[in-house]
Chains A and B, each alone.
Chain A
Amino acid sequence: MNSPLVITFPNTHQALKAEDFFKLLKLEFELIPTPREISAECGFALLVYNQDSSTIIRFCSEKNITLSNIFICNENKGVKNYEKSY
């Protein structure tokens, strides 16, 4: 199983646009406050389960959704670590 991905956006508008599209695609995700360790661009980020970065990039490109970065969220002994994959 893939580690969850944290997707960040340049602004709220793009985050909500992605939220709409991911709902339509029935992806498993939740809207979360952007972890401060990774970005201060937009207050919201999407935490997406069971997907890989390239699929997310393709989905966003299909719908003209501008994303900023994708981080792979790993957890080790309760400490979250964000590895930038895009």
Chain B
Amino acid sequence: MIYLDNAATSFPKAPGVVEAMVDFLENVGANAGRASYGQAREASRIIYDTRKLLAELLGVLHEERICFTLNATQALNLAIKGLVKPGMTVLTSPLEHNSVMRPLRCLEEQNVKIRQFAFKELSVDWDDWSAKLDENPDLVIFTAASNVNGLVLPYRELAQNARQKGIPVILDAAQALGTLPINGDDYDIICFPGHKGLLGPMGTGGLYISPGIEIASLFQGGTGSRSSEELQPEVMPDKLESGTLNIPGIAGLNSALKFILHTGINKIRKHKQEITANLIYKLTEIPELILHSPLSVQQNAGVISLTSRRLGLSEFALHLDRAGIATRMGLHCAPSAHKTLDTFSDGGTIRLSPGYFTTREEIDQAVAVIKGLHE
């Protein structure tokens, strides 16, 4: 199989991830934060160390403000529903995943108003952005990079503009963390998965909440702290981490983060850019294909969306499946993004997303198959 679905989840995982998970399950196995015997301490230590590694990656000092979740969707729900109050206005991009749009739409029932800034071609319409920002929304939330076509938004600049006006910013880093440079303190909240660019296992993710930002807890329960009280503790990260964490997953994420930090974001980004550039170059040589992604790898996080003038979407996907090429067809849980790209009414696109472990040979083979389908 040639795996080109890293925007859904990375495969393979970083070296050492599986071993760390097996080691935890076979040799540690205890719950964390609830007891002081050796294995329980070891479990607590794995969580603590992983939080510190994430803090290092994000360049932040307050690792206790990083909370673990099961995925980016859960992190985004915590951030959005923990911050947005009835009657508020939220400004967002038109390229958002449903993990942002569905929680926001759900809040419309509480009279929350959603505004979207416009794009012109594949760029932010800065006039529209400024105008919408001047309406003083209560919150701005946007993705760092589109999961549909890889477009890298000017996320630092957008956040800076909003925060200069005192408007808090939530960054959806689902397609960005581990691939693009992200400084945690440039945003009020960052939500991320552990299983995509961070190369960790599924069932891991989290959010970083900057000092000074307080969000309500969506879940309440056991935290191992202040057990004499029936009110949820305010102390972080306990406030947002009720119940047993996915410690085997966090042990795997720990190994993945060590790999990422050792390799370096620049090297990872460079490799993904080379692979993506090669893929884009070869695909543009097939005249029947329409590419819906930025062709410049500076503006692309490593996701290519395409459609064919000759083949219908499902026919195209079926041929790729049969040839052993793993891609994802459809709307990619992002109807708003597909409407913006004008690919919604046709049912979406075929998405190719290489990863850090994708080789040039695999790209050549995949392109050869796609070329063959169009001869």
Contact = CB atoms under 8 A, between A and B. Distances in A.
Interface in B194-236: 223-228, 233, 235
B176 interface: no
B32 interface: yes
8 contacts: A11-B223, A11-B224, A11-B225, A11-B233, A12-B224, A13-B64, A14-B64, A40-B228
Contact of B36 (A11, A40, A44): A44
A3 B64 CA distance: 31
A17 B225 contact: no
A14 B33 CA distance: 11
Lowest 9 A-B CB distances belong to which pairs? Answer: A12-B33, A40-B228, A11-B225, A33-B36, A16-B48, A10-B235, A11-B238, A12-B44, A13-B64
Contact of B225 (A10, A16, A64): A10
A84 to B, nearest CB: 17
Nearest to B238: A11
A14 B62 CA distance: 11
Interface residues of A, number: 18
Contacts of B233: 10-11
A66 B32 CA distance: 19
A34 B32 CA distance: 15
* Most central of A11, A41, A64, A66 by chain B CB within 10 Å: A11
Contact of A40 (B35, B64, B226): B226
B373 interface: no
B50 to A, nearest CB: 12
Nearest to A45: B36
Given A11-B224, A17-B64, 12 more contacts: A10-B226, A11-B33, A11-B233, A11-B237, A12-B224, A13-B64, A13-B238, A31-B41, A34-B36, A40-B228, A42-B33, A43-B36
A34 B225 CA distance: 11
Interface string B37-80: 00001001100100100000000011110000000000000000
B81 interface: no
A32 interface: yes
Contacts of A43: 33-36, 224
A33 B235 CA distance: 20
Interface in B223-268: 223-228, 233, 235, 237-238
A12 B225 contact: yes
Contacts of B237: 11, 13
Contacts of B61: 64
B48 A41 contact: no
A79 B179 CA distance: 58
A16 B36 contact: no
A10 B233 CA distance: 9
Interface in B298-346: none
Nearest to B34: A43
A32 B35 CA distance: 10
Contacts of A31: 36, 41
Contacts of B227: 40
Contacts of B223: 11
A16 B44 contact: yes
Nearest to B49: A16
Interface string A49-75: 000000000000000101000000000
A11 B63 CA distance: 14
Contacts of A40: 226-228
Nearest to B61: A64
B294 to A, nearest CB: 41
Contacts of A14: 64
Contact of A32 (B34, B36, B48, B235): B36
A42 B48 contact: no
Nearest to A65: B64
Contacts of B35: 33, 43
A33 B33 CA distance: 11
A60 B356 CA distance: 41
A34 B41 CA distance: 13
